[in-house]
Structure 1
Amino acid sequence: MHLLLERPDYRYFLRGADGGSALVNDRRLTASFIIAPDTLLEDWSAQDARRLQPADLDPLLALQPELLVLGTGPTQVFPPAAVLAGCLQRGVGIEVMDNAAAARTYSILAGEGRRVVAGFLLP
């Protein structure tokens, strides 16, 4: 089997995430953050999916995604219905999953050239 290290053609690539941290490029992040292929916003103030307000997603939506991926920590936790409705009213799809699944999903979509933005909740 022949393996090649292929770097994506965008600035920030997510190597993986779990309930406590994420690896972006070669940096370990331990606080909630927002990532898009060419944007990294560290220290996002959100920490608990159950307590999210629609305004908490404004920094993600400002990046004009077609799809938003929300990583909610070590387990999948759905935010309040108003948060989900806020995305859908703007015509933006939203997928909610645990951080590991969100990292895999985000990486696939970014690799396909999709306009995807992800928010990861970390303690």
Structure 2
Amino acid sequence: MKLHQSKVDHLNQITAYDHESIHVNQERYAGSLLVLPDAVHSWRPTQFSDLTEDDFASLLQYQPELVLLGTGANIQFPHPKLYAALSAKLIGVDVMGTGALCRTFNVLVAEERRVLALILHK
């Protein structure tokens, strides 16, 4: 699905997605991703069952206000103990399908929020 981009020239926007890839600023990425307003990184877990406490704890280095976790077409909720390090710092974790994550990320970036998107994508 192609998304309409907000007027945020200097920050990342998710411009399209499908079942195989995510496009950030028109550039295609395959595999699991960590997307920040100003950076894109590959992310270790390749599927939901790979998620660990360390995966979430490592996100503290980015100092996000909010973490969005996209689990594909089917929403799957991780056990709260997996993201306890984030919760302890009052960083919210919202779980949603990939389409909703893409739209939500773009809105929050346009509002200049420090959002971090985690996209599990084979």
Verify the 8 A CA contact 1:53 1:82 in the aligned structure 2.
Answer: no
Write the mapping of 1:1-123 to structure 2, written as runs, cut at 5 A: 7-42=7-42, 44-123=43-122
Normalising by structure 2, what TM-score? 0.85
Whole-angstrom CA distance in 2 between matches of 1:18 and 1:59? 27
Distance in 1 (alpha carbons) for counterparts of 2:109 and 2:67: 11
Q: Which residues of structure 2 form unaligned runs of 5+?
A: none
CA contact (8 A) 1:70 1:97 kept: yes
The Cα of 1:6 is off from its aligned counterpart by 5.4
**Counterpart amino acid of residue 13 in structure 2:** F
- Percent sequence identity is 32
- Structure 1 stretch displaced more, 84-93 or 106-115: 84-93
For residue 22 of structure 1, what is the amino acid of its counterpart? I
**Number of residue pairs aligned between Structure 1 and Structure 2:** 118
**8 A Cα contact 2:57 2:86, kept in partner:** no
**Aligned CA distance change for structure 1 residues 49 and 108 (closer, same or farther; 3 Å):** same
1:87 and 1:59 map into 2 onto residues whose CA distance is: 9
CA RMSD of aligned residues (A): 1.8
- In structure 2, distance between residues paired with 1:34 and 1:46: 10
Q: Distance in 2 between matches of 1:67 and 1:6?
A: 20
- Matched to 1:84, the amino acid is Y
The alpha-carbon deviation at position 61 of structure 1 amounts to: 2.5
Q: Which moved more, 1:101-110 or 1:55-64?
A: 55-64
Query: What's the offset of the Cα at 1:29?
Result: 1.1
Shift of 1:89: 1.1
Q: Distance in 1 between matches of 2:49 and 2:6?
A: 37
After TM superposition, give the deviation of residue 34 of structure 1 in Å: 0.6
How far residue 59 of structure 1 moved from its aligned partner, in angstroms, is 4.0
- Contact 2:32 2:118 (C-alpha < 8 Å) held by counterparts: yes
